[in-house]
Amino acid sequence: MTQTDDMPISVEIGEDYPEIRDAVRKVCAPFDGPYWQKLEETDSYPSEFVEALTASGFLAVLIPEAFGGSGLPLRAASVILEEIHAMGGNAGACHAQMYIMGTLLRHGSEDQKQQYLPAIASGELRLQAFGVTEPTTGSDTTQLRTRAVREGDEYVINGQKVWTSRALYSDLMLLLARTTPADQVARKTDGLSVFLVDMRKARGNGLEIRPIKAMVNHNTTEIYFDNLRIPASSLIGEEGKGFKYILDGMNAERTLVASECLGDARWFIDTATRYANERVVFGKPIGTNQGVQFPIARAYAEMRAAEMVLRRACALFDAGQPCGEDANMAKLLLSEASWHAGEACLQTHGGFGYACEYNVERKWRETRLYQIAPISSNLILAYLGQHVLGMPRSY
């Protein structure tokens, strides 16, 4: 148990939510290594996998019961994503829906929530695309150039987004655009607004989506807006307050991505341990060699230590307490723990680690992404140095 200024926060030790974990494992069981290998070979979207998760209700776990979801805490969502990755899968095709809908839930109007949340919960609509990053601004969100100009009962959007994953397989997109020019606002975080764009109507009418070939099969895209007209009712919350709304959902995003890293680390450690016990060279299992054994053991210790920070972040979030420090540290530490576990697993397998049939090289490539996206390790270190430790901001 840890004490905050307002109240004690309880952090469970051991395998919490066992029923959910078992259910996730059953859903993921048919989607084994060959399934994910085939997707990579054909550069395809895991439609069957996403449909199975949707049918199970797992993607609606954070949507309140009043809107057709389960209304469970963030920790339950964390467990779901952890188990998907621990089973050898990858939730990147649909995980954004869990944290994107939080912006709609917390800042949308009652009409917007009634219109969209039940359909998202049932799977009738997919909200998996998040339009924030731009080619020229990267992580400096306050300098984005995509503009949304109000004209009567519509907004006209022009600009470009990049690394917008799943846009080709999503019905709705959460879009951050500038509604007031940067040179006309008091603070650079002002003048940004959030919109819920119906891409079913927008494609071919001012919205173009182009796939980006990448090392990891994340179905990522770049999006072009050319005088796209959307209803003024697409605006979420107040005009100009979008930066705050987006930040509001970042702690959930960091925490859920950290959960995926935890699942990856578990998979690597379990896979490496099993191979080290079974692979016999010179008449004995390779795991008897400390050069093989110690990196796996160290990865396990690093994973377990980082997991405690993740559990604390979930507990603080679910209690409505400030959790930015823990959410960011969990993402930082677990992205590194999963990578170190992946390195140990690949090294344990030797040349066979590069063979696609073992899935090690695929998972190794996938988990490396998390030190870069959705936020890089260096940006987290800058956040901790400046906002937690109080050191001066670098320019």
DSSP assignment of 370-392: GGTSSS-HHHHHHHIIIIIS-PP
pLDDT at 357 over 60: yes
pLDDT in tens, 216-271: 878 899 999 999 999 999 999 999 999 999 988 899 999 999 999 999 999 999 99
Q: What are the structure tokens assigned to 136, written together? A: 């020229």
Round to whole Å and give the CA distance between 254 and 26: 26
pTM for the complete prediction? 0.94
* pLDDT above 90: residue 137: no
Q: Do residues 222 and 161 make contact, with C-beta atoms less than 8 angstroms apart?
A: yes
**Between vectors from CA 369 to CA 368 and to CA 375, what angle results, nearest 5°?**
125
Share of the chain above pLDDT 90, in %: 87
Distances in whole angstroms, Cα of residue 18 to Cα of each of 1, 83, 112: 21, 11, 34
- Longest C-alpha distance within the chain, in Å? 79
Residue with tokens 């797992």: 58
283-330 residue pLDDT tens: 999 999 999 999 999 999 999 999 999 999 999 999 999 999 999 999
Q: How confident is the model at residue 274 (pLDDT cuts 50, 70, 90)?
A: very high
139-173 per-residue burial string, b: 16 or more CB within 10 A, e: under 16: eebeebebbbeeeeebbbbbbbbbbbbbbbbbbbb
Distances (CA, A) of 276 to 122, 304, 360: 44, 20, 14
How far apart CA 149 and CA 181 sit, in angstroms, is 10
- Strand pairing of 147-151 and 221-231? unpaired
Nearest-angstrom CA–CA distance, 41 and 47: 15
**Per-residue pLDDT at 2:** 52
With residue 266 as reference, give the H or E element that holds it.
helix 242-278
User: Residue 4 — pLDDT band, cuts 50, 70, 90?
Assistant: low
Phi, psi of 64 (to 5 degrees): -60, 155
Q: Which helix (H) or strand (E) holds 246?
A: helix 242-278
Q: Does residue 149 surpass a pLDDT of 90?
A: yes
CA 20/CA 42 separation, integer angstroms: 31
- Cβ pair 77, 309 in contact under 8 A: no
Amino acid at 295: P
Question: Would you state the pLDDT for residue 7?
Answer: 62
Domains of the chain: 2-126 (1.10.540.10), 128-240 (2.40.110.10), 244-388 (1.20.140.10)
Closest CA to 95 of 113, 108, 82: 82
Three-state SS at 241: strand
In the numeric block, which tokens belong to residue 144?
A: 């984005």
Which two structure tokens, joined as six digits, stand for 152?
């009567």
pLDDT, position 5: 54
Alpha-carbon gap, residue 95 to 259, rounded angstroms: 11
∠121-222-124 over CA atoms, to 5°? 15
Are the C-beta atoms of residues 370 and 218 closer than 8 Å to each other?
A: no
